[in-house]
Each structure stands twice: as structure tokens, then as C-alpha cells.
Amino acid sequence: MIAAILLLGAVTWLATRVLVVKTDLEASQALVDQLQTEIGSGDFTTLTATSTELQEKSASAVAGTQDLTWRAAEVVPIVGANLKAVRAVSESIDAIVQDVAAPAVELVANYDITARDPVTGGFDITPLEDVQTIAETAQTVFAESMARMATVDASATVGPVSAAVTKVNGLLGKADSAIASAVPLLQLVGPALGADGPRTYLLAFQNNAESTALGGSAASYTLINVDKGAISIAAQGAGSQDLVEGTKLDVPVDQSAIDLFTDYLVSYPNTSTSRPDFPTAAELMRAYWIRDKGLTANGVISVDPLALARILNATGPIDLPSGDVLSSENAVSLLVHDVYYRFDSYQEPEKIDAFFQSAASAILNKVISGEFDMNAMITAVTEGVNQGSILAWSADPTEQQALDGTRIQGALPKDNVESTAIGVYYQDTSASKMDYFLQTAATTTSDICAAGPTPSFSTTVTLHSNLTADEANALPEYVSSGNYGPQLTSTKVFVYGPVGATLVDARVDAAGESTTVNASGNDLGRPVASFTAYLAPGESSTVTASFTGAEGQYGPLEVRGTPMINATAQSVEPACG
């Protein structure tokens, strides 16, 4: 009788505990969603209160699973597997909340990006050490939580518990991968902002109206000094006016790149971005400044007008010394097209250079001020990096290695394991700014899902001149083609196949005015098909490159390419790996 009473009491106690834990876990999940919403919206006013409540609920949930009755019941068939799973979920969530989320929220909620160091006038970079500590702690917490969750037999749990296990495992997998990539980069932020000593960076502004593989001609530069969070402009220059053209740089560049892009790659500053490899471009840009201006840099950062337009979403409109108001709506058109109607760039190059330099200074000063929507800025920079409009390189080999595999590095993957990347790149060869009117599309197909270790790939590229003959005749001389006049453009198309693949076919499907198949190449460990499309206003050209993959492992198929003013319409089939 006594035993029965004790057993009934234990069961009742356990049932009560389960209900409490269930309630706390559900509340925790709701608060996690709320926390993500608040961070995502940039509403930090209630962030601390939400975090505090989340800590209380997750702590309560895990406490409910720690008594002897709960642990003893974990060995009971059927019921035990569910209780063990609930405990593992509770402990994992609580560890993430208490040791990672809570300190991160406190840091974010209390940081004021507009605050300045009273001595240097720079950003307050002292929290960077805390950020790094939190990230390193997160690595440990995620690893321990994943090991804990690995002991759970999800096949023995009931629906709601199984769903919770799946959700936590998914969260941990994504978070662990993200933090593994972030930690090496976070270790660079402090030194990059001058925490260990002054740094100098060369900012290159590309003009996508004159396309090159990485975006556009590198026409304007700003050299900045960074010291303990303080950022200042040291010098500015224009590629065509301040750097020597036509004389080869003494910089080692693969012959495979010279074969495809000619000596122009290493002889003209504006075409240093022709190869789809930002480390190559950055070394060339830096070398021009060392050779021609006697100034060096610790790194190179490239930004194009597409990225600036996104950044202006965060900063709001900016007044320029010219009287213009630069906004997210007009940034691209003003900077790469409209300004050429205002100045004769052949007769008054100093005026247009001054315009670009003043615009660059105004934008940089606005960003340095910290007066912007932080969430919108994070979104803008992330999108810019993912689209290839923001790129970075470090002259320090150790720091550069930390960028390996990231999109900001601006380099194609060195193998096909994590992703099978095909590159579609454009280069204006008509000496014009007429790519403002160029529309492009790329369709890539493959049997990668079913072909086994040697799949095939085919990429079809279409170029269309969205320009009428009358519009072409009205173009300023500097915008129209220096080689052919306003009624014709020439654009090279480079299709980079997967690593180790073989180019099996390169053909012209629609010629426009005229389209040629150029000599193929092999660059960056990839076969390269090359075409030149000549287009009169309103005409289109279509070309196709086909490859056979080498035997090996292939990750999901993706296509990377030149960030065009009119974004390339991409189609990739199949979307599997």
C-alpha cells in the first residue's frame, strides 16, 4: 500500500514536472522568436527585458529535468526516451541562452555606434574583445550541445518531442557552421580597425557601366588611415588621371590570366578587375599606388554603386558638395550615367574626378559618423558581399587566409566539394559606359543529381542591348564606344566551368550584329569558354558553353558572376547537390 502511494506520488510529481517543463520550453521558443524579431527590426528598446525573461524560462525548464525522479524515469521503456530527449533539449537551449545569447544581447543593447573615443575621436572598439570571447564560448557551447543531442534516439520519441529535437538539431547545425566561419574573421576585426597599430586601406570604386568580371572599371580610389577606431581620408585619385597607363606592373600574375585578358590586365589600372579573382585585382591596385604614388596599403576594399545604393538605404540621402542629393534611388544612375551628361570627361577630366572624390568622401564620412540604421546597414553589407559588390583583400597572408572560402574574398572555390560553382563574367571591350543599358541572362543545366562522379554542365548566356538607335545617338561622347561610336558595343563573355572539368563545346546560338567564339583557356584550375558579342542597339546575342566534369565529389550547383547594373537573370537546374 505504501509503495503504491509512493509510486502514485512519484508519477504525479513527474507529470507536474513535465507540464512545467513543457510550458517553460514553449515559452522559451516563443521568446526566442520574439528576440529574433526585435534584433531583426533593430528595435533594441525591449531587447534586454525579452532576454531576461528568456533566461528565466530556459533556466526553469532545465531545472525541472534535474531531480532524481526525472532521471530515474529516463530508464522506463518508451517514456524514458522522451524524458531524456526533453532534458537534452532543455539543457541545450539553456546553455545557448545563458552563455551565448544573454551576453550577446547585453553587448548589443548597450553599444552606441555613434559614441566616439574622447582621445582618438574614433569608434569605441573595446567591445570587440567581448565579441570574440562570446564567439569562442559559442563554439564550445554548440559543440557540447551537439554531442548531448547526439545521445538522443529521435526514432523512439513522440511527435512533439521529435519536432523539438529536429528543430534544436537544425539550429545547432546552422549556428555551429556560422560561428566556425565567423571566429577567424572576428579575430581580424580589432587589428583591421587599428587596435594593434595604424592601418592603411585602399578603397576602390568600380563603375559597372563599363563591365569587368568583378564589376566594372576601377576608376576612382580613396586611401584611408585607421588607428584605434579612428578613420580618416589620406589621399584620393583616379585610375586614368593619377596612375600610369600602358606600363606593365612588376607583379606575378598567372600566364593563364594574361592569355585570357591580355597584358591590359597588368598594364591599365581600369582593367585590373578583369579576372574574376579579387586577390589578383587587389594586388595589382596596391602595386599601382606603390609604383605611381609612393603610397602603400595594408589591404584593399572594393565597392561598386550597387553596394552604395544599398548602403544609402541605411544612411538615408546624403547631400553632396555639388548640390546633388545622393539616395538609394538615384545612386546608380547618377554615379555611372547621369554625371557624364554634366561634364565632358575628355575635356574636363578633373571636374568629373572631383565629383567622384567628393561623393566618395561624403558617403564615407556619413558611414564613419555612425548615423545610420544598424539593421539596415547589416542587411546592405551582407547583400553587397553576397552579390559580389563588396570585396576585401589583406596584404597579410595570415589575415588573407582567414578570408578563404568567404564571399567577400571574391574568389571562386578551389574545389567542387562544398559547392559546384560555375562563373559567368562580362567585360566591355568597346571602351564605353554603355553597359548601363545591357541586359543579361544565364541558364545553367546539369545532370549533377543523377550522373554519378562525372556530371555534365551547360550554360547558355544571352546579352541584349536595351537601347534604341536614337538613344544611342544622344549619348555623351564619353559614354558611347571609343572604338565603334554610339551604334555598336562589344562585350566579352567568359564562362568558367567547374574545377577540373573539360570544355567540350562552345557555340554561338544567336549572333546579334556578330558574335565570335574566342580561344578557350584554363584559369584558376577551371576550363574557360570565351566569346565576343557585338551588338547594335536593340540586338541580342546568345552563346552556350558545355563542360564534362572530372571524376570526383560534387556539391550543390551554383552560378556566380559579374554584378551588373541590370542584374543578370539566373536560372540553375537542378537545384540539388
* Strands 526-535 and 540-548, sheet pairing: unpaired
Residue in this structure with the C-alpha cell 567577400, named with its chain if needed? 408
Residues contacting 373, CB < 8 A, separation 6+: 42, 314, 315
Distance between CA atoms of residues 532 and 543, nearest Å:
10
Across-strand partners of 511? none
Predicted pLDDT of residue 23:
64
Q: Does the pTM exceed 0.85?
A: yes
Predicted pLDDT of residue 383:
94
- Catalogue all structural domains in the chain, each as residue range(s) with its CATH number: 2-192 (no CATH), 199-391 (3.40.630), 412-573 (no CATH)
CA distances from 390 to 33, 204, 310, 386, 393 (A): 30, 10, 11, 8, 11
Predicted pLDDT of residue 109:
78
Short-list 387, 357, 206, CA closest to 282: 206
Predicted pLDDT of residue 102:
82
Distance between CA atoms of residues 127 and 518, nearest Å:
54
Across-strand partners of 318? 326
Residues contacting 363, CB < 8 A, separation 6+: 308, 311, 312, 315, 318, 326
Residue 272 · residue 213 · CB < 8 Å: no
Predicted pLDDT of residue 481:
93
Q: Residue 378: helix, strand or coil by DSSP? A: helix
Angle at 200 between CA 194 and CA 206, to 5 degrees: 125
Residue 229 · residue 127 · CB < 8 Å: no
**pLDDT by position in tens, the chain (length 577):** 443 433 333 344 344 445 545 565 666 667 667 666 766 665 666 667 767 776 776 676 677 667 666 676 666 776 777 777 778 887 888 888 788 888 887 887 787 777 777 777 788 888 888 888 888 888 898 899 899 889 888 887 777 777 877 887 887 788 788 878 788 888 888 888 888 999 999 999 999 999 999 999 997 899 999 998 889 999 998 876 789 999 999 999 999 999 999 999 999 999 999 999 999 999 999 999 999 999 999 999 999 999 999 999 999 999 999 999 999 999 999 999 999 999 887 788 888 888 888 898 999 999 988 888 888 888 899 999 999 999 999 999 999 999 998 999 999 999 999 999 999 999 999 999 999 999 999 999 999 988 778 899 999 999 999 999 999 999 999 999 999 999 999 999 999 999 999 999 999 999 999 999 999 999 999 999 999 999 999 999 999 999 999 999 999 999 999 999 999 999 998 866 4
Predicted pLDDT of residue 88:
80
Across-strand partners of 492? 427, 532
Residues contacting 387, CB < 8 A, separation 6+: 306, 307, 563
Task: For residue 518, count other CB atoms closer than 10 A to its CB.
Answer: 15
Distance between CA atoms of residues 425 and 384, nearest Å:
17
Residue 279 · residue 352 · CB < 8 Å: no
Predicted pLDDT of residue 8:
39
φ, ψ for residue 381, nearest 5 deg? -65, -40
Predicted pLDDT of residue 4:
40
Amino acid letter at 217? S
CA distances from 415 to 83, 172, 576 (A): 44, 26, 17
